[in-house]
Amino acid sequence: MYETNFHSVSSPQEAEAILATATDAKILAGGQTLIPTMKQRLAAPSDVIDLSRAEGLRGVTITKRKVMGVIKADGGETVTIGAMTTHAEVAANAELAEVFPAMCRLAGNIGDPAVRHRGTIGGSVANNDPAADYPAALLALAATIHTNKREIAASDYFQGMFETALQEGEIITAVSFQAPAAGGYGKFPNPASRYAMAGVFVARSKDGAVRVAVTGAGENGVFRHAGLEAALTADYSANAVDGVEVSAEGLMSDLHGTAAYRANLIKVMAKRALA
Amino acid sequence: MKIAMTVNGKSVSRDVPDNTLLVEYIRDHLRLTGTHVGCDTSQCGACVVHVDGRAMKSCTMLAASASGAQVTTVEGLATSKDELHPMQVAFKENHGLQCGFCTPGMIMTATDMVARYQGQGKELTEEAIRHELEGNICRCTGYHNIVKSIVDGASKMTTA
Amino acid sequence: MSEGIGARVLRKEDKRFITGKGRYTDDIIEANQAYAAFVRSPHAHARIVSVDASAALAMEGVETVLMGPELVADGIGNIICGWGVTSKDGSPMNMGAWSALATEKVRYVGDAVAIVVADSKALAKSAAEAVVVEYEELPVVVGSVEALAEGAPQLHENAPGNLIFDWEIGDLAPTDAALASAAHVTEMDITNNRLAPNPMEPRSAIATFNEAEDHYTLYTTSQNPHVARLVLSAFYNVAPEHKLRVIAPDVGGGFGSKIYIYPEEIACLWAAMKCGRSVKWTSDRTEAFLTDAHGRDHVSTAKIGFDKDGKIVGLKVNTKANLGAYMSLFSSAVPTYLYATLLSGQYDIANIYCDVQAVYTNTVPVDAYRGAGRPEACYLIERLMETAAREMGVDPAALRAKNFVKSFPHQTPVIMAYDSGDFDANLKQAQEAADVAGFAARKAEAASRGKLRGLGYSNYIEACGIAPSAAVGSLGAGVGLWESAEVRVNPVGTIEILTGSHSHGQGHETTFAQIVAERFDLPTENIQIVHGDTDKVQFGMGTYGSRSGAVGMSAIVKAMDKVEAKVKKIAAHVLEAGEDDIVIEGGAVKVAGTDKQMLWHEVGLAAYTAHNIPEGMEPGLKESAFYDPTNFTFPAGCYICEVEVDPETGVTEVVQFVASDDFGTIINPMIVEGQVHGGIAQGIGQAMLENVVYDEMGQQLSASYMDYTMPRADDLPNYSVHHASTVCPGNPLGMKGCGEAGAIGSPPAVINAITDAIGNNNLAMPATPAAVWAALQDVQSKIAAE
């Protein structure tokens, strides 16, 4: 690893100040991607700013809807997840499990237990790895990415592999979304890396709109699949997926599988997301 | 920079470069060499230690980020010098190791998973153990006896 | 005796490993130690135009940057292959020059160009990056078939057409005639995929030069420290043998990849002398993929013929073996004497012919990896047998049984003379354990869940304990493959066993102690195994080829024979009895049928005080032996794999894996089962997960765990391991060897099972989900076309 200057900050504002003055500072969230990248000398930030002790960036809050004083977990609740919330914390959050368990399951299958103890949702979203799981969820849930400067719609935020709408000095503080009426995630892990080779997140919002986002398979990162969305809007069932033609065009081919194989996986994972 | 933390119950402090990894702090500066490095991509798990009670990959964390933390390595797992941790006993009794290189990370991952499952009142099945071992690679045992060791270690940890 | 032969004694070595107190090479720090990093070629094939190290040398804390021309000028010899193989036409093999640091050309990505020594590891890496090498890129070839084609890029001047040798075994004309007369011929193209061994401990070395004593010490991750010292001294001229101590402390797995002496160890020793500091180098995982010798990589075509009764009449094989950019230490033996000599499998085949072209390519050198040639032979013959049975519409187990060798010794047409075995017994035991009779019902049940179930056999035989030395010498080996041992009984009666075998996971400290415990009826805690240090152990050939039991332990037995004789002489003298009446039992040396005895430690003390020993007897109680076996040993067995395939994704689950092995005498069943488990895991890894992939430019696409699929816990089943043994007549303990069997026997069982499940025999290793899915698509499009 190249030399770097370490900073631990107590607030995003403090981090912002360092970002503004350092030559090439990077935010360190869980570090599960940044540290390996630095170890392999593929990144050489002048400074790293550790957010793990910053206040107010951690935890899941749910604004529940109550009907006659009883919590109704039927969609529409606002879920806000602090950027520094670890995958393990999301996976184990009982309240989230009540309103949208699919999100807990997704988090519980990112990386391995040690990675989940350290890796964060903010770090994952900021990195936008083309095979990461959270981008598919947030895109399908029409989530909002909150930064120290503004709020960004997921559809504007994810801009191709490792590309995001984040500007210089901008730090993710949280993500939020409305719990859907129904939804789930089907993930086919790459046999070696265990990242998604095809991960399909399906969400049907309370107003009936279905969004389907695919990670791991596209040549340019996470994307929405119009064909699957149309079919599932008409008929929210695995049968509807069978009738959809998933084209291999624009999908990745590598030593783990062809684009045609990934196209097949998208269909199968879409079905499993509904199960 | 000066980095202080508690390792295996002992307060330690060392002046190290900012880019020092936790595993380098443990191995090179504290000379606790039971924690190993087997890959560059955070996948093999030979480096797993507990930071504030949770399993983490010490090769994928800066020492500075663990400043002030309670760190446990395989050397500090047993409660005393003369006694082995039940999971260590289980690995020996079930032949859960051959070359021994992945073993410290396996044992640290195993104790973490058992503590979590027992804490949440969940059953730690063989299938769950195999899934929980996703971040630990062993090239010698074919995992058969590691899984057996963890099943046995879990029951020993309950009764301990 | 609870700790003797056959007891499941818990391992003596475990305590240090489970408490983090193991001592691996990278755990060791020498005083004033410097760190090495290597400047490596980013190109698979290029001419070195210039190297400019000035920027690196200008960095504070950089000790030195050393390069190939200086290494050559200092008289450091080229890296050699220690087994000469002769071509069909009688010409010797064409070995290209391999300098530890490249001089004019680089021939694979990762080829070392310079060693950089600095105060810290990070600084050494930064300085290595600062070395500017100008390359003139040359055309690249990565596959063996392509490398043999006309007009292919040439790697070494003295190997025209990239051909290292064109070797043959068996008789061509009778084999052709037998195949021509056959009632049925099965013909296949069979590829054995390239693997990276991946012991979890990366290679590491610390070299120290003591100028005052003109003496070198090398700590290294070696399976055979004495061989390392011999080669470093005799061929690489690093230091004379008596001025070089090689220590292989705890070693974290080897699987073959730590047999060889690599450029890094040579360069570290040389650099330690040049800069007067200890020099340490530890590989990272990516460097391991780029520089540790790979395994397998065969491309073969094979024909097997049967008469109308299903008896094999002939087998003809052509194999192209990719040896990479240079010839590694035993690389030539792997695709020849360790491979084609096992092509007869468990079968009585009168006519076999095989020819092998060994080829240079712009890839990492290929050498022995767990099994070394035998997995390739087993995969070939067992895929052929399964395929032939399917083509002829007969039961694959019955076809095998019909052709089994049933009487021993059995001379094959390809050198090997099988000494013992009972292949029917292994088959029957495996079939029962696997409940083959219930398979049809299980298949139907799986089908009701939309899953495809398949079952596959593999009836393997392999050869361990390569020997005797004179025979392997006549086949081209540059070394003798015996083993040495020394048994030291101390004056207090405790025993140290010094062995030339090396343990890097095999549990020698326990198993070796057990045979001593058995012989002298002592607890294993009184017995210490010493290995891995050329200053302590006189000599040894190390551990590979499953030789430590059959050869290493036999040497201990021979030394114990001498100790026992002396003990009996001393006791007979002291107790005034005849030597023949002396028995050793229960911690004492007794006169049979009387109450006269000496305690074991009293005999030790008597030997060392020498106050009362037979006249003319030398004092002391220490004996050594060199044991040279009379033949190979032949472990064999039957493996049955059952899989379930998800047709939607191609994901294959191994739902059952049964092994019935014949390892001869088993000393510690717990350890033997562990060896089988690990071997099967590596075999399933080869069959379903692992693959080294190069692109056309010679870049390794699979050079990290992000792309090279290491078998993980959730990829693998529990294994059902059984033994049906016949005693090996060739060594005193009757042992055969168990270290490689799992890796040798399992791949064909897996592929035979998957191809059975999916109904398409055209499936190569590794059978990844994508590959299995594609094979299923082929079946469906064929059905659609019909």
Residues B121 and B90 in one domain: yes
Q: Tokens for B95, please give them.
A: 């032949």
The bridge status of strand C34-40 relative to strand C279-282 is parallel
pLDDT digits (tens, 9 = 90+) for C414-468: 999 999 999 999 999 999 999 999 999 999 999 999 999 999 999 999 999 887 8
Alpha-carbon distance of C486 to C507, in angstroms, equals 18
Please tell me which residue of chain B has the smallest CA distance to C704.
B41
In-domain check, residue B81: no
Q: Please count the CA atoms within 13 angstroms of the CA of C394 that sit on its side-chain side.
A: 17
Alpha-carbon distance of C557 to C665, in angstroms, equals 14
Q: Tokens for C507, please give them.
A: 């549990």
Q: Can you list the alpha helix ranges (DSSP code H) found in C161-309? A: 172-181, 225-234, 263-275, 285-291
3-state secondary structure C758-780: HCCCCCCCCCCHHHHHHHHHHHH
Alpha-carbon distance of A122 to A147, in angstroms, equals 10
In-domain check, residue C741: yes
B96 and B143 Cβ atoms separated by less than 8 Å? no
Select the residue from B21, B24, B57 to test the A interface by mutation, using most A Cβ atoms within 10 A.
B57
Q: Tokens for A132, please give them.
A: 């990461």
Per-residue pLDDT, C761: 96
In-domain check, residue B94: yes
Instruction: Flag if A118 and B120 touch (Cβ within 8 Å).
Output: no
The separation between the first and the last C-alpha atoms of chain C, rounded to the nearest angstrom, is 68
Residue ranges making up the domain that contains C241 = 27-136+207-252+258-281
Query: Chain A partners of B64 at a C-beta cutoff of 8 Å?
Result: 6, 8, 50
pLDDT digits (tens, 9 = 90+) for C624-641: 999 999 899 999 999 999
In-domain check, residue C693: yes
Per-residue pLDDT, B160: 56
Tell me what the mean pLDDT of segment C69-91 comes to. 97
Domain-ending residue, one of B46, B76, B106:
B76
Domain-ending residue, one of B29, B49, B76:
B76
Stretch(es) of chain A classified as CATH 3.30.43.10? 5-50
Residue whose tokens read 């043959």: C168
pLDDT digits (tens, 9 = 90+) for C520-554: 999 999 999 999 999 999 988 888 888 888 889 99
Residues B69 and B10 in one domain: yes
Residues C349 and C442 in one domain: yes
Phi and psi at C121, nearest 5°, equal -65, -45
Residues written for chain A: 275
In-domain check, residue C475: no
Query: Chain B partners of C746 at a C-beta cutoff of 8 Å?
Result: none
Per-residue pLDDT, B39: 97
Per-residue pLDDT, A66: 67
Residue B60 sits at the chain A interface (C-beta within 8 Å): yes
Residues C269 and C311 in one domain: no
In-domain check, residue C196: no
The residues, any chain, with a CB within 8 Å of residue C391's CB and separated by 6 or more, are: C184, C186
Whether the pLDDT of residue A69 is over 80: the answer is no
Residues C212 and C224 in one domain: yes
C32 burial via Cβ count (<10 Å: 0-12, 13-18, 19+): exposed
Per-residue pLDDT, C782: 87
pLDDT digits (tens, 9 = 90+) for C662-675: 999 999 999 999 99
- The letter for the amino acid at C512 is F
- Cα pseudo-dihedral A209, A212, A213, A219, rounded to 10: -130
Whether the pLDDT of residue A182 is over 90: the answer is yes
Select the residue from A1, A264, A267 to test the C interface by mutation, using most C Cβ atoms within 10 A.
A264
Helix (H) or strand (E) holding C376: helix C374-392
Number of domains chain C is built from? 3
In-domain check, residue C11: no
Residues B54 and B27 in one domain: yes
Whether the pLDDT of residue B159 is over 70: the answer is no
Instruction: Flag if B142 and C200 touch (Cβ within 8 Å).
Output: no
The bridge status of strand A151-153 relative to strand C352-359 is unpaired
Tell me what the mean pLDDT of segment C286-299 comes to. 98
Percent of chain C past pLDDT 70, that is, above it, reads 100
Per-residue pLDDT, B79: 87
C307 and C182 Cβ atoms separated by less than 8 Å? yes
Considering the entire predicted model, what is its pTM?
0.97
Question: Among C510, C401, C420, which Cα is nearest to C464's?
Answer: C420
- Closest CB from A41, A193, A258 relative to C770: A258
Residue B59 sits at the chain A interface (C-beta within 8 Å): yes
Percent of chain A past pLDDT 90, that is, above it, reads 93
Residues C365 and C316 in one domain: yes
C112 and C267 Cβ atoms separated by less than 8 Å? yes
Phi and psi at C402, nearest 5°, equal -60, -30
Please tell me which residue of chain A has the smallest CA distance to B113.
A113
In-domain check, residue C244: yes
Residues B60 and B100 in one domain: no
pLDDT digits (tens, 9 = 90+) for C304-350: 999 999 999 999 999 999 999 999 999 999 999 999 999 999 999 99
Domain-ending residue, one of B49, B76, B103:
B76
Residues B124 and B71 in one domain: no
Question: Among C410, C326, C407, which Cα is nearest to C156's?
Answer: C326
The enclosing domain of C609 has a CATH number of 3.30.365.10
In-domain check, residue C704: yes
Summarize chain C as % helix, strand, coil (round to 5). 30, 25, 40
Alpha-carbon distance of A28 to C615, in angstroms, equals 80
Residue whose tokens read 């006519």: C351
pLDDT band at residue A72 under the 50/70/90 scheme: low
Whether the pLDDT of residue C572 is over 70: the answer is yes
Whether the pLDDT of residue C149 is over 70: the answer is yes
Helix (H) or strand (E) holding C128: helix C121-130
Residue C662 CA: distances (Å) to CA of C342, C555, C728, C741, C752: 16, 22, 10, 10, 22
Per-residue pLDDT, C549: 86
Instruction: Flag if B64 and A50 touch (Cβ within 8 Å).
Output: yes
The enclosing domain of B68 has a CATH number of 3.10.20.30
The bridge status of strand C312-322 relative to strand C352-359 is parallel
Alpha-carbon distance of C777 to C645, in angstroms, equals 13
Tell me what the mean pLDDT of segment B78-98 comes to. 95
- The letter for the amino acid at C762 is N
Tell me what the mean pLDDT of segment C682-694 comes to. 98
Phi and psi at C598, nearest 5°, equal -120, 140
- Closest CB from A50, A52, A115 relative to B135: A115
DSSP code string of C85-122: -B-TTSPBP-PPP--SS-SSEE-STT-EEEEEEESSHH
Query: Chain B partners of A8 at a C-beta cutoff of 8 Å?
Result: 64-65, 67
The enclosing domain of B111 has a CATH number of 1.10.150.120
- Closest CB from A2, A36, A48 relative to B41: A36
pLDDT digits (tens, 9 = 90+) for B39-70: 999 999 999 999 999 999 999 999 999 999 99
3-class DSSP state of B152: helix
CATH for the stretch A60-274: 3.30.465.10
Chain C 76-115, CB below 8 Å of chain A: which residues?
none
Cis peptide before C766 (omega within 30 of 0): yes
pLDDT digits (tens, 9 = 90+) for C431-442: 999 999 999 999
In-domain check, residue C197: no
Alpha-carbon distance of A109 to A145, in angstroms, equals 22
Instruction: Flag if C707 and A256 touch (Cβ within 8 Å).
Output: yes
Work out the minimum CA distance from B158 to partner chain A, whole angstroms.
Answer: 21
Tell me what the mean pLDDT of segment C112-118 comes to. 98
Q: Tokens for B52, please give them.
A: 């504030």
Residue C706 sits at the chain A interface (C-beta within 8 Å): yes
Query: Chain A partners of B1 at a C-beta cutoff of 8 Å?
Result: 6
Q: Return the DSSP state at B26.
A: I
The residues, any chain, with a CB within 8 Å of residue C374's CB and separated by 6 or more, are: C338, C339, C342, C460, C462, C463, C740, C744
Q: Tokens for A3, please give them.
A: 């030399």
B31 and B40 Cβ atoms separated by less than 8 Å? no
What is the rounded average pLDDT for all residues in chain B?
96
DSSP code string of C479-514: S---EEEEEEE-TTS-EEEEES---SSS-HHHHHHH
Helix (H) or strand (E) holding C168: strand C163-170
Instruction: Flag if B61 and A35 touch (Cβ within 8 Å).
Output: yes
pLDDT band at residue B81 under the 50/70/90 scheme: confident
Helix (H) or strand (E) holding C655: strand C652-662
Per-residue pLDDT, C154: 98
Query: Chain C partners of B149 at a C-beta cutoff of 8 Å?
Result: none
DSSP code string of chain A: ----EEEE-SSHHHHHHHHHHSSSEEEESS-TTHHHHHHTTS---SEEEE-TT-TT---EEEE--EETTEE--SS--EEEEETT-BHHHHHH-HHHHHH-HHHHHHHTTSS-HHHHHH-BHHHHHHHT-TT-SHHHHHHHTT-EEEESS-EEEHHHHB-STT-BS--TT--EEEEEEEPPSEEEEEEEE-TTT-SEEEEEEEEE-TTS-EEEEEESSBTTS-EE-HHHHHHHHH--SHHHHHT-----TTB--BTTB-HHHHHHHHHHHHHHHH-
Neighbours of chain A (3+ CB pairs under 8 A): B, C
A63 and A165 Cβ atoms separated by less than 8 Å? no
Residues C235 and C312 in one domain: no
The bridge status of strand A172-178 relative to strand A144-147 is antiparallel
Work out the minimum CA distance from B92 to partner chain A, whole angstroms.
Answer: 24
Residue whose tokens read 């043998």: C241
Per-residue pLDDT, C135: 98
Residue B128 sits at the chain C interface (C-beta within 8 Å): no
Dmax of chain B from CA atoms? 44
What is the rounded average pLDDT for all residues in chain C?
96
Residue C770 CA: distances (Å) to CA of A263, B10, C438, C694, C765: 11, 51, 30, 18, 12
Per-residue pLDDT, A73: 63
Question: Among C281, C284, C210, C275, which Cα is nearest to C61's?
Answer: C275
Q: Where are the beta strands (DSSP E) in C46-96?
A: 46-52, 62-67
| Highest CATH level, class, for A5-50 | alpha beta
Sign of the dihedral defined by the CA atoms of residues C675, C676, C677, C681, in that order = positive
Residues C351 and C451 in one domain: yes
The residues, any chain, with a CB within 8 Å of residue C10's CB and separated by 6 or more, are: B92, B93, B95, C510, C670
What is the CB neighbour count within 10 angstroms for residue C79? 23
Instruction: Flag if C19 and B129 touch (Cβ within 8 Å).
Output: no
CB pairs under 8 A between A and C: 48
Q: Is the ipTM of this complex over 0.95?
A: yes
pLDDT digits (tens, 9 = 90+) for A97-122: 999 999 999 999 999 999 999 999 99
Work out the minimum CA distance from B40 to partner chain A, whole angstroms.
Answer: 7
Please tell me which residue of chain C has the smallest CA distance to A266.
C649
Residue A5 sits at the chain B interface (C-beta within 8 Å): yes
Residue ranges making up the domain that contains B154 = 86-159
Tell me what the mean pLDDT of segment B121-138 comes to. 97
C293 and C366 Cβ atoms separated by less than 8 Å? yes
Instruction: Flag if B56 and A118 touch (Cβ within 8 Å).
Output: yes
Percent of chain B past pLDDT 90, that is, above it, reads 95
Instruction: Flag if A114 and B61 touch (Cβ within 8 Å).
Output: no
Residues B59 and B117 in one domain: no
Per-residue pLDDT, B151: 98
Residues B138 and B100 in one domain: yes
The enclosing domain of C275 has a CATH number of 3.90.1170.50
Phi and psi at C48, nearest 5°, equal -85, 115
Instruction: Flag if C719 and B144 touch (Cβ within 8 Å).
Output: yes
Work out the minimum CA distance from C770 to partner chain A, whole angstroms.
Answer: 5
The residues, any chain, with a CB within 8 Å of residue A21's CB and separated by 6 or more, are: none
C766 and C195 Cβ atoms separated by less than 8 Å? no
What is the CB neighbour count within 10 angstroms for residue C493? 18
Residues C672 and C593 in one domain: no
Instruction: Flag if B101 and C201 touch (Cβ within 8 Å).
Output: yes
Comparing C260-269, C283-292, C381-390, C543-552, which segment has the lowest mean pLDDT? C543-552
Work out the minimum CA distance from B134 to partner chain A, whole angstroms.
Answer: 6
pLDDT digits (tens, 9 = 90+) for C174-229: 999 999 999 999 999 999 999 999 999 999 999 999 999 999 999 999 999 999 99
Instruction: Flag if C678 and B131 touch (Cβ within 8 Å).
Output: no
Tell me what the mean pLDDT of segment C261-290 comes to. 97
Instruction: Flag if A193 and C707 touch (Cβ within 8 Å).
Output: yes
